[in-house]
Structure formats: structure tokens, C-alpha cells
Structure 1
Amino acid sequence: MTLLQAILIAILQGATELFPVSSLGHAVLLPALLHWPFDEGDPAFLPFLVMLHLGTSVALFVFFWRDWAAIITGALGLHGRAYRLESFRILMLLAIATLPAVIVGGLLERALKHLFGSPFPVAGLLVANGLMLLIVERLKSRGVTTTSTTQEDRPIASLTSSDALFIGTFQCLALFPGMSRSGATIAGGLLRGLHHDVAARFSFLMAEPIILAATVHQTLKMRHMTISHDQIHLAFVAASVAGVTALISTAILMRYFRNHDKWALAPFAYYCIALGLGSLVYLGSTH
């Protein structure tokens, strides 16, 4: 992998990890479309992948540091009993929302592994991701939700355990490369009556433990690997680029979702459908 390829993949990772367009789907399709001679499933690619995730995780923590500081100091009882109970409640909601993906991911990791280097099914799943976003957006615009809660501008703390479990179950869709984690969790939040910006905030707070868990899981796989100095250097450069890109992307997305609550997911949906169909046609014509 060249430095230019590493930087391009890092920019792609930093943007698409937060945008509802599937970072993993893009990571599989880009090398196939550009005929880059490396395989994301190759163990030698693992240190690079770990550092990309770490860079994104750091960026998310930096952007939402006030949220995490308020939750952690509240849980420690520094702001009174009522605030402590609310902080524990939010932590519980995040834990419940994270649980389904951890369990299902552990059970299906080997079964889904063959998809990670296969551009054809990934392109098809990218189309499916776009259709999911469009359908949920349409349901949201019609006021159709899966909950009887009618509270205007629901904050995260108003979510119930069943809301968190529902959103967390949607997150399991992202185990399929081409289905977006942020897209699925935002869609789940919309179906539970959240506005786009609140659904996005909960989705990005959920991303922290799930990305860290994936990073630790991948790091354990490297414990017997011999990693060269060049690999380490390339991985650190990529992590820095991915982190900066993710920080900018998060700022753009949060502002965007606040200002476009009626149709926020539609542009991403059309993009996924166009890219998926275009990739299927191109890959089909070159094989």
C-alpha cells in the first residue's frame, strides 16, 4: 500500500464511519473499483485497520467530550442525586443499545467473514442501505413510529430500555458490509420518535464503545504478529488523517441534522443507491 492509498482510505474511513453510507462498504468497493492490489482481509492489513478505528474513536471522544464529561461526572455524583440518576440511566441505555451487536457479531463473525472481500454482495447491500434510509425517512415524515411516545423533541434521557434495545438491534445490520452503522442506528432512533439530531447524537455516543470494542478485538488478533516499522508509520499517518476527517465530518453532520429534520437522510440514500447500482454495473462489465 502506498502513502497516497493509505491517506485516501483514511479520509474515506473518517468520513463514511459517521455518514450513513457504510465505511466498510466503501473500504471493500474502493480497492475493487480502482484495481488496487491489496486485500482488506489480509492479516497484514490489520494494524492499519486498527489504527483507523482508533483515530475515529479519538475524534468522536474529542467532539462529544462535554457529553462524556457530563455523564461521567454525573455518575460520580458531582452534580447531585437527580443528575446522578440521569447519568446512570444514559450509561445503561448505551450499554443496552451496544449489547445486541456484540452478541450477534460474536456469533456471526465467521459466517459473515467471506463478505468482507467480496465487492458484488457489498454493492448490493449498499443499495439495500439506501432503500432502508428512504423507507425510514418516509415513515418519519408521515409520523409513523414503533412507539406510542408522542413527546415533542425527545431528549436521549427520555428513551426507555426497549427503545435502546430496538436501536441496538438495528445496529446489527451494520455487521453486513454495505449497511451503515450510523445509518441503521439513526433510522432506529427515528422510528422511536427521535428527531434526526437527537438520533444522530445517540448513534455517535453508541459508536464510542462499539468502535473501541472492535479495536480491542482486532488488537488481540495482532498479539503474535510481526509488524514492520513502515507498517507502523503508515498506520499512524492514516489514523491521524482519519481522526481529523472524522472530527470535521461529525461537526458537519450534527449541524446538518439540526437544520434538515424533514428529509435529512434522503441525499445519503440516493448516493448509496447510485453508488451500489453503478458498482454492480461496472464490476459486472469488467469480469
Structure 2
Amino acid sequence: MNVPLGSAALLGIIQGFAELFPFSSLGLLVILPHIVHLNVPTQGARYLPFLVALHLGTAVALLLLFRHEWIAVVRGWFLWLKGQHTPDGRMAWMLIWATIPVGLVGLALKHPLAHLFSKPLMAAIFLVVNGLLMLLGDAWHKKYRRHPLPMSQMSMGTAVKIGLFQILALIPGMSRSGSTMTGAVGQGLSFEDAAHFSFLLATPIIFAAALVELPKLHSGTHSLMIPALFGGVIAGITAWLSARFLLRYFQVHNLFRLAIISMAVGVIGIILVH
């Protein structure tokens, strides 16, 4: 199947926007082709590598946006291995511990989860659940807002617990950023730090998924390569703009408005798909 570049661009914009705005890019990318009949392969075995390519554009944008921080974190990790314990090295370990849960579950449930990419009704339902989860995050934030936990003082246990929330994002309709931010504020972080840590956490898991899935674009689905790369570039540009906006947004706002939007989009999706 040849995917038109216009369709790839549209999906790239949605990916770059919804990956960081907590509306579940996977959920929207599963629902939209069924509603507007885009010419894309929506079966999980073929669609998943295409979606991962779009996600890779987002990860590259985040890597560039936080490039100075990533350079410091990687350098700090190597220094830590040499016995020099620095705050940057500690942050590297926090990101590693938070990534391990979703990596293990993703590998263990890879094939069952792939089937969900052809179930738009399920994705729409989980968009509603995603909004409810973010409302829970708002409730937790009210509990800790007077004495928030600085991101630099997270423990290994805190990082793992946040990582457990990231597992939810393996389900189309559950937002990775929304889940991890909810988990982070539930552990006492401010919304600003929760968003910051969530955006950092996106990079390693997306690159890991890309290593597994992108080679499949050459195997029987070679016609997807150019549209996937084009869509990935568009997703990266959109993600860059989205991240810069949200880092400012969460300095003064919470998840409530975004939770309501997620639930509304989910309800509309249920109606249109059903």
C-alpha cells in the first residue's frame, strides 16, 4: 500500500502534538484512519512500524530540545561508573530505572498489544479512561503542592513507580505523557517537573522501540519508508513546538483542562467509530 504524503503529514502533526499534549498519539492515530478513511495500513503488524517512525521524529525533536541536558546526563552516567557521583549521573540512573518497567512489559506483551492497533473503538474508550487518570493526577497534586518533591531529589523507588505508570501508554488511548505526569505528581513532583521528567523519559523508550520496529519497514512494507520518514520529520517539528509550549503551560496550569478534552475526544471517537 502506498501511503500519500499528505496522509503521512497529517498523522505526523497529530503524533507530534498528541505525544506531548496528553491525548494519546497512539489512540488518535488508531481512531483517525477509520473515521476519515485515510489510505494507511491499519493492521497492527504493518501499522506499528509506521507509527514508531512517527514517534522517532518526536524523540529526535526532544533530544535536540534537551540536548545540553542529555549531554550532561550521559557524561554524568559515565563518571558515575568511574566512581564520581554527580547530580547528572544520578538523573541518568533515575531515567534508566523509570524506563525498565515499560521496556520489560513491552517486550513480554509485544504481540498481544499489536492487535490493539486495529481496534479504534477500544482506543476511544481508553481516551476517556486517560482523562479520568489525569483527573486523579490533579487530585494528587493538591495533596503535595505545598511541599513538592524536586526532580533532582527523586529516589530509585520514585523513578520506578513513575515508570510503572508509563506502562499504561502501551495501550492505544492511554497517553504516555499523561500517565507519566500523573505518576510523577502522585509521587510529589510539581507539574512543571513532572512534564520535564516525562519529556526526558520519552526519548530512550522511543529509540528502543525504533530499534525493534523500524527494520520492518524494509520487510514487505518498503513502500512505507518514504512516507514514514516524511511524517517523522513533520512529527518532530510539531513536537518541538508542543514541548516548548507545554513547559511554560505547566508552570501555572494543571491537567484538568487537558483531562476534559481527552474525555470529550474519547466520547466523540466512540460515537463516530460505533
Q: Normalising by structure 2, what TM-score? A: 0.91
| CA drift at 1:237 | 1.9
Distance 1:277 1:203, change over 3 A: same
| CA drift at 1:224 | 3.7
Alpha-carbon displacement from aligned partner over 1:53-73 (angstroms, at most 9, x marks no partner): 221111001111121122233
Q: Is the 8 A contact 1:50 1:219 kept in 2?
A: yes
Amino acid aligned to 1:54: L
Distance 1:234 1:77, change over 3 A: same
Moved more, 30-39 or 169-178: 30-39
| CA drift at 1:268 | 1.2
Matched, 1:269 2:259: yes
Q: Is the 8 A contact 2:78 2:89 kept in 1?
A: no
Match of 1:160 in 2: 155
Match of 1:138 in 2: 139
Match of 2:15 in 1: 13
Asked which structure has the greater CA Rg, the reply is 1
In structure 2, C-alpha distance between the alignment counterparts of 1:6 and 1:85, rounded to whole Å: 43
Distance 1:101 1:190, change over 3 A: same
Q: Is the 8 A contact 1:46 1:222 kept in 2?
A: no
Q: Is the 8 A contact 1:155 1:198 kept in 2?
A: yes
Match of 1:40 in 2: 42
Match of 1:99 in 2: 100
| CA drift at 1:192 | 0.6
| CA drift at 1:51 | 2.8
Alpha-carbon displacement from aligned partner over 1:12-62 (angstroms, at most 9, x marks no partner): 001111111101000001111112243332655455334312211110011
Secondary structure at the aligned position of 1:258 is classed as coil
How many percent of aligned residue pairs carry the same amino acid?
39
Matched, 1:184 2:185: no
In structure 1, C-alpha distance between the alignment counterparts of 2:228 and 2:170, rounded to whole Å: 24
Secondary structure at the aligned position of 2:109 is classed as helix
| CA drift at 1:102 | 0.8
Secondary structure at the aligned position of 1:93 is classed as helix
Q: 2:227 aligns with which of 226, 229, 234?
A: 234
In structure 1, C-alpha distance between the alignment counterparts of 2:273 and 2:47, rounded to whole Å: 23
Give the root-mean-square deviation of aligned CA atoms: 2.3
Matched, 1:245 2:238: yes
Match of 1:173 in 2: 168
Amino acid aligned to 1:278: I
Amino acid aligned to 2:188: G
Query: What pairs with 1:24-173 in structure 2 (closer than 5 Å)?
Result: 24-41=26-43, 43-45=45-47, 48-77=50-79, 84-143=85-144, 152-173=147-168
Secondary structure at the aligned position of 2:169 is classed as helix
Query: What pairs with 1:203-218 in structure 2 (closer than 5 Å)?
Result: 203-218=198-213
Distance 1:76 1:109, change over 3 A: closer
Q: Is the 8 A contact 2:22 2:176 kept in 1?
A: yes
In structure 1, C-alpha distance between the alignment counterparts of 2:141 and 2:153, rounded to whole Å: 18
Amino acid aligned to 1:105: G
Q: Is the 8 A contact 1:47 1:232 kept in 2?
A: no
Matched, 1:3 2:9: no
In structure 2, C-alpha distance between the alignment counterparts of 1:123 and 1:59, rounded to whole Å: 27
In structure 2, C-alpha distance between the alignment counterparts of 1:156 and 1:58, rounded to whole Å: 23
Q: Is the 8 A contact 2:76 2:92 kept in 1?
A: no
In structure 1, C-alpha distance between the alignment counterparts of 2:204 and 2:64, rounded to whole Å: 14
Match of 1:147 in 2: none
